[in-house]
Structure 1
Amino acid sequence: MRWHTWLLIKDINPMTASKPSPRSRKDAAATAKASTDQAAADPAQSPATTPAPPARKPSLKKANKRPEGQWAVDGHEPLNANEVVKAADDGLHVRPRIIDIYSKTGFDSIPEDDLQTRFRWWGLYTQRKPGLDGTANATMSDTERSDKYFLQRIRIDGMPLSIQRLRVLASISTDFGRDTADITDRQNLQVHWIDVADLPEIWRRLESVGLNTVHTAGDAPRAFTASPVAGVSANEIVDPTPVIAEIREKWIGTEEVSNLPRKFKTCFTGDPSLDVAHELNDISFVGVRHPELGPGFDIWAGGGLSANPHLAERLGAFVTADEAADVWHAMILVFRDYGFRRLRNKARMKFLVEAWGVEKLRDVLEREYLGHKLADGPAPEAPTEPGDHIGVHDQKNGRKYVGFAPTVGRLSGTILAKVADAAEKAGSDDVRFTPYQKLLVLDVEPDRVDQLVADMEELGLTAHPKPFRRNTMACTGIEFCKQAFTETKAPAARMVDDLDTRLADVTLPGPITLNMNGCPHSCARIQVADIGLKGQLTRTPEGETQQTYQVHLGGGLVSSNRDDPGLGRTVRGLKVTPDDLTDYVERLTRRFLEQRADDESFAQWAHRAEEDSLR
């Protein structure tokens, strides 16, 4: 089965075509697939000629009226600089230029529009120059903060990583990425220090094992998060794997969905543990059992965090596995055509949901794009077990899967290669990442579990982590990210070790999640953690600039066993320095244990406690 659909599809052009009817949309998709099937298996060889960088840009619209840039309402004229760049040339088209030109002529030959915008459609961001502190974000442009190396995201979509795939990922890290490899909370693998000259070989290796980097960034359908136990969980309601495969095959990497107002995040789970943080995605498919129609998915829309957090809302609509791919396609076209494009900070799906409400969203989806009503359906039941899948668990085929915790998602190519060895020794050919920066080994024979656990422990990956090791996440931070103000990975790792040692004398009544982010964008979900730490710069009484962390307390999701999911409260005026982080979290945890009522969770206590208790 082909796992991806490639670029240069000329039959579908959202910049010039009118919105197709449901029937013509299907016909266009079929035409696009037929066109793509004629291309060579290696996308690097498919273009007959290499497109040159665009020579001119459309002018920005000048008018008294201020439309929101909704294509279906206002037309396609671009209303900001990003839309101008996208209108001039789709981000998919930069790939042959990277292969045929930039990989040979070098970093300095790359035009700015390609470098800072279109490269993202292939998962590439310039990383931060070493040595720049957080003040550079205010005093230097994005270009000035950029190093001549890239962060490369590799699209996983919850797929099984075979031993062969793991070894390819390991080789990319060790051969081209200075042994860097981080599991993201989108289940991607992220590698740093990538040179443009090495991209053709990196892509060749990935594609040789059915992986790619298309649309892992940019204004496009980002890599999906999916239940890491899809198809094997003994408790699974519905397996989303065929739906994901169908979407990848038909639409990922096509121009039809390649120019969205901004990014579009999707998740799928059929596991009752609700293991994908579905409240935080633009569209979510959550497994439920309909009383008459059987297993299928409950649809949610409009989730997202950053500076304007909004939890996804249920549409109240039920779809079967057979119709789920078409519903995903219709929803992304709703966003493409009606999403707000004028202001980048208002261009996510959550703002459309806030403006319309879910009733109107469902009506437009059904009436204009699907052409039929969807069935009403039940909400998912609250989970009864953690969704991180840490530890040893039963599969439906009688084998076991084992979940392991790295420290804040940080691995390396060297470790990945040794994970492949350990999994192969245990008889497994199926390793998966999770949306909680964890790693699972599936299909393990019961009598090989103990040996696998011991082998992985030697690699620093434990199936029996202490509480903070298990429940802490961190984003990339200032080490590589141009948006960050503070460090994240290193201080989070130190906190994990120190807290699990200092608090060894207490028993926590439940998990306390600790998420650390280096800027307000909330890649590490600070607003929905029990303890969320947001990096920022503040001034000392002497006027010196210092790194500090703003504190959010009491956030959580249904999938983290919250009965009342919601956003954390900000502790007013509290700024914690890096040196004080461990002391602060220890003090806060002990105060919770002293003050909690019977059966009270950390989040419940944090929302009712006096502010003095939270300092």
Structure 2
Amino acid sequence: MYRYDEFDAAFVAGRTAQFADQVKRRLSGELTEDQFRPLRLMNGLYLQLHAYMLRIAVPYGTMNSRQMRKLAHIARTYDRGYGHFTTRQNIQFNWPKLKDIPVILEELASVEMHAIQTSGNCIRNVTTDQFAGAAADEIIDPRPIAEILRQWSSLHPEFSYLPRKFKIAITGSPNDRAAIRFHDIGLQAAVNGAGEIGWEVWVGGGLGRTPMIAKLINSFVPNEHLLAYLESIMRVYNRYGRRDNKYKARIKILVHEEGLESIKGQVEAEFAEVRGGVLTLPQEELDRITAYFAPPDFADRSSDKIDIAYQSIIDPAYGRWLDNNLFPHKQSGYASVTVSLKPVGGAPGDATDTQIDVVADLAERYSYDELRVTHEQNLVLPHVAVADLRAVYDLLVANGLAEGNNNQITDMICCPGLDFCALANARSIPIAQEISKTFAAPERQKDIGDLKIKISGCINACGHHHVGHIGILGVEKKGGELYQITLGGDATEQAAVGKIIGPGFEADAVPGAIEKLVDFYIANRTSAEEPFLAAYRRLGEAPFKEALYGAA
């Protein structure tokens, strides 16, 4: 894992001290809330419906046990005993007191963490595939490049006040698990004709009120020129991005209105000027950063195997967990384990201080002191020996973390919604809780198979509803809450934006509406192996709409 260098430590310490003085002046009344707002946002501090909320950065979703335990300590000491893991692989604390924020930031700095650039019109936390560095299908570990992008973007003088927030995602696999086509810039590992590894660059993706799929602007950029190329994109966006209308300020609007070829031409012109200059990434610097992400010194476990079918017979709950929550590891005899934060009836993404401590202990003991936050609001132990899976599972069971539902219907993405967020129009968490209760039976979830539900409490789409196989959007109508349903979204390399299929539903009718869609799918799939999304694409929207609303 990356360790702070002298610059990082001084940078974070200086910002922490600066913000402590700003908080002191706010508490004394020397600063009004309006004056304080831009200062707190630069330090990840939001004002939500009921309290301040602190968003802490987890660069590329990677942490060690020491950092995880610090998060548990903060939850226990300064909040209400839990934290909320987000779709940007960060963690939020919903109830900190303003007077405690400087102390929290000092505690975070002691374990090489901070809250900088988790808010505001800047380049936000760079996200990656949660199995980066471990996945069997990976071309290259993207985290060294993600770390270099973090260093390049932190307090970049030209990009600290962009037209709007800017999000970058990167994956080292041909199978996109980082939703790169729904980011302002998406990077996907690629191999050219000479066998060299570089990056496809996608630009202009995003969700929100105007969802768009990114367009391929360059099919191969080598490592040495990647910073120069991304800086060229940022300069074009910073120059022409709308500042008069925040709803049209994202780069996706610029690409859409100007056209990809026009934007590409301007980017290439910028790139021609800076290529080969100070933004060239030296191989020795890439090697230095890459060394921080060297794989663990794995013990030889190549002879260890596990018979999931047999385990499913003798212990169905354990077998289900093995079947759903393991991901193939590049090292024989190991697996990556998803720790579900989606218990039946729970708030997706929430973990108690005790649970956070437990996952830290598991990472230290069984995963070479490494863990990940996923953009789907779960946690991952990336390097678990097959022989240790039962021990890990038993400890998860004892702490309410052993739900074997990864990628199943109860494994929902869900924003905080109107229970917390000042921007929301409707509640999200209660909807997710009721849906998970409706489909709680493990046998039913297995029969349904791979089905992703994503829920947002407003058009800002923090719950990624646009890319849910079934998406749910809460809207306000005549002072009440109404929920629109979309179908056909996909965040993978086969990217698609879901389509609203009809009128919205009252909150108590949403679980029943989902049941109708699921029942229709099961009745009309070609076999149990045909997943929901494939069936939807084969059958089209009309029969699903009729199943939900009746014949026109």
Tell me, yes or no, whether TM beats 0.5: yes
Contact 2:25 2:31 in 1 (8 A): no
What's 2:71 paired with?
169
Query: Which residue, 550, 557, 562 being the options, matches 2:491?
Result: 557
What's 1:607 paired with?
541
Identity %: 25
What's 2:10 paired with?
41
Q: What's the TM-score, normalizing by structure 1? A: 0.74
Contact 1:3 1:245 in 2 (8 A): no
Query: Which residue, 452, 457, 464 being the options, matches 1:525?
Result: 464
Distance change in 2, residues 1:455/1:275 (3 Å): same
Query: Which residue, 415, 433, 456 being the options, matches 1:475?
Result: 415
Contact 1:391 1:404 in 2 (8 A): no
What's 1:68 paired with?
none
C-alpha separation in 1, matches of 2:238 and 2:274: 20
What's 1:66 paired with?
none
Residues 1:103 and 2:24 aligned together: yes
Shift of the alpha carbon at 1:444?
A: 2.1
Contact 1:238 1:296 in 2 (8 A): no
C-alpha separation in 2, matches of 1:520 and 1:110: 32
The range that moved more, 478-487 or 451-460, is 451-460
Query: Which residue, 368, 373, 377 being the options, matches 1:437?
Result: 377
Contact 2:23 2:99 in 1 (8 A): yes
Paired residue type of 2:499:
R
C-alpha separation in 1, matches of 2:114 and 2:210: 31
Which structure is higher in helix share? 2
Residues 1:393 and 2:362 aligned together: no
What's 2:513 paired with?
584
Contact 1:183 1:438 in 2 (8 A): yes
**Structure 1 stretches of 5 or more lacking a match?**
6-35, 48-94, 130-148, 375-387, 540-544
After superposition, residues 99-498 of structure 1 pair within 5 angstroms as 99-103=20-24, 106=27, 109-129=30-50, 149-371=51-273, 390-396=325-331, 399-407=334-342, 408-462=348-402, 464-465=404-405, 468=408, 471-498=411-438
Q: What's the TM-score, normalizing by structure 2? A: 0.82
Q: What secondary structure sits across from 1:122 in the alignment? A: coil
Paired residue type of 2:505:
V
Distance change in 2, residues 1:604/1:272 (3 Å): same
Contact 2:127 2:170 in 1 (8 A): yes
What's 2:523 paired with?
594
Shift of the alpha carbon at 1:287?
A: 1.3
Q: Deviations over 1:199-231 (max 9, x none)?
A: 211111212222111111110001111122222
C-alpha separation in 1, matches of 2:228 and 2:65: 32
Shift of the alpha carbon at 1:369?
A: 3.7
Query: Which residue, 463, 476, 481 being the options, matches 1:547?
Result: 481
Q: What secondary structure sits across from 2:482 in the alignment? A: strand
C-alpha separation in 1, matches of 2:68 and 2:85: 13
What's 1:9 paired with?
none
Distance change in 2, residues 1:336/1:397 (3 Å): farther
Distance change in 2, residues 1:426/1:602 (3 Å): same
Contact 1:466 1:500 in 2 (8 A): no
Q: What secondary structure sits across from 1:117 in the alignment? A: helix
Distance change in 2, residues 1:420/1:40 (3 Å): closer
- CA RMSD, Structure 1 to Structure 2 (Å): 2.8
Paired residue type of 1:319:
V
Shift of the alpha carbon at 1:390?
A: 3.5
Distance change in 2, residues 1:236/1:255 (3 Å): same
Contact 2:336 2:384 in 1 (8 A): yes
Contact 1:468 1:496 in 2 (8 A): no
Contact 2:181 2:202 in 1 (8 A): yes
Q: Which runs of 4+ in 1 moved over 6 A?
A: 1-5
C-alpha separation in 2, matches of 1:443 and 1:467: 20
Contact 2:410 2:439 in 1 (8 A): no
Contact 2:454 2:463 in 1 (8 A): yes
Contact 1:554 1:606 in 2 (8 A): no
Query: Which residue, 437, 443, 447 being the options, matches 1:507?
Result: 447
Q: What secondary structure sits across from 1:323 in the alignment? A: helix
Paired residue type of 1:112:
E
Distance change in 2, residues 1:242/1:402 (3 Å): same
Shift of the alpha carbon at 1:533?
A: 1.0
Distance change in 2, residues 1:341/1:402 (3 Å): same
C-alpha separation in 1, matches of 2:406 and 2:257: 43
What's 2:500 paired with?
570
Shift of the alpha carbon at 1:97?
A: 5.3
Shift of the alpha carbon at 1:424?
A: 2.5
Shift of the alpha carbon at 1:346?
A: 0.7
Distance change in 2, residues 1:498/1:360 (3 Å): same
Shift of the alpha carbon at 1:392?
A: 4.3
The range that moved more, 262-271 or 330-339, is 330-339
C-alpha separation in 2, matches of 1:369 and 1:163: 41
